[in-house]
């Protein structure tokens, strides 16, 4: 009888161990050779060479230019001006003798009459005066002149009004501390009712400024003379 154990071992390992060893050796040899060759391969990328330019002077390449010599300057010849013939002189005409003016006869002296001896009426212009004594300092003088201008602007008699040149209307009034006009009265009449009415109206409608600060009294009494002059 054949032993089963010997039959199994003889059929499984018969000649196959040699093949396994050979294949293993071949594989290892190939692997070693492959690793050796792999190390020899250079995978780095070689950079491209950088172009190098050589600087060349252009002046060296250009052909030499001929040197131009300066030409001598030629001075222009002076122009000769031809003398013009002299203009013919005009003949002098004889001057006419002018007649000598006759002397005027001397004027006879006229006797001058002195003006003081002439009987002329005095012409008085419109005026504004304080009633009573008043210290006329510069501020008060300016204030009264301003009042006169304001009142005369409101006094407008009609053109061609028949009024005597000697007529005069005197109106008295009072200005308080704040510039209000009160106590208007006719002190002297001109004889013309229209003239008197326009005179009083000019004062009533006037808007005057306050009294000067240096004037201590509470009010100021004034008198205005209205004349045609």
Share of the chain above pLDDT 70, in %: 58
- The strand pair at 219-226 and 169-176 is best described as antiparallel
DSSP three-state, residue 64: coil
DSSP three-state, residue 68: coil
| Confidence bin at 37 (pLDDT 50/70/90) | confident
Q: What residue ranges in 95-218 does DSSP mark as E strands?
A: 127-130, 169-176, 181-188
φ and ψ at residue 16, rounded to 5 degrees: -85, -25
CA atoms within a 13 Å half-sphere pointing along the CA-CB vector of 103: 3
Mean pLDDT of 193-197: 94
For 176, other C-beta atoms within 10 Å of its C-beta total 15
More confident residue, 105 or 217: 217
CA atoms within a 13 Å half-sphere pointing along the CA-CB vector of 123: 4
Across 145-156, b (16+ Cβ under 10 Å) vs e yields eebeeebeeebe
Residue 2 has a pLDDT of 47
Mean pLDDT of 86-98: 59
Tell me if 147 sits within 8 A of 128, measured CB to CB.
yes
Average the pLDDT over each of 34-38, 85-89, 102-106 and give the range with the smallest value. Answer: 102-106
**Does position 121 have pLDDT exceeding 50, yes or no?**
no
Residue 111 has a pLDDT of 42
Share of the chain above pLDDT 90, in %: 37
pLDDT tens-place string over residues 136-187: 899 999 999 999 999 999 999 998 888 888 899 999 999 999 999 999 999 9
DSSP label at residue 112: P
**Does position 46 have pLDDT exceeding 90, yes or no?**
no
- Residues comprising the chain, all counted: 229
- pTM score: 0.47
**Does position 72 have pLDDT exceeding 60, yes or no?**
yes
Q: Which domains does the chain have, with CATH numbers?
A: 127-156+166-226 (3.30.1150.10)
């Amino acid at each position: 009888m054949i032993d089963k154990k010997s039959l199994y071992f003889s059929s499984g390992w018969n000649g196959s161990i040699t093949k396994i060893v050979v294949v293993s050796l071949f594989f290892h040899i190939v692997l070693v050779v492959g690793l050796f060759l792999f190390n020899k391969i250079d995978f780095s990328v070689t950079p491209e060479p950088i172009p190098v330019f050589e600087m060349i002077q252009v002046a060296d390449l250009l052909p030499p230019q001929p040197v131009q010599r300066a030409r001598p300057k030629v001075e222009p010849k002076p122009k000769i001006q031809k003398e013009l013939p002299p203009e013919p002189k005009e003949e002098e005409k004889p001057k006419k003798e002018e007649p000598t003016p006759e002397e005027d006869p001397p004027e006879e002296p006229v006797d001058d009459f002195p003006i003081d001896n002439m009987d002329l009426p005095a012409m008085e212009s419109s005026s504004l005066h304080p009633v009573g004594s008043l210290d006329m300092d510069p501020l008060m003088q300016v204030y009264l002149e301003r009042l006169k201008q304001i009142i005369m602007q409101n006094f407008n008699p009609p053109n061609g009004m028949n009024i005597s040149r000697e007529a005069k209307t005197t109106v008295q009034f009072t200005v308080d501390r704040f510039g209000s006009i009160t106590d208007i009265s006719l002190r002297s009449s001109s004889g013309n009712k229209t003239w008197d009415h326009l005179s009083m109206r000019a004062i009533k409608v006037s808007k005057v400024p306050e009294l000067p600060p240096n004037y201590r009294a509470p009010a100021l009494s004034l008198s205005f003379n209205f004349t045609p002059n």
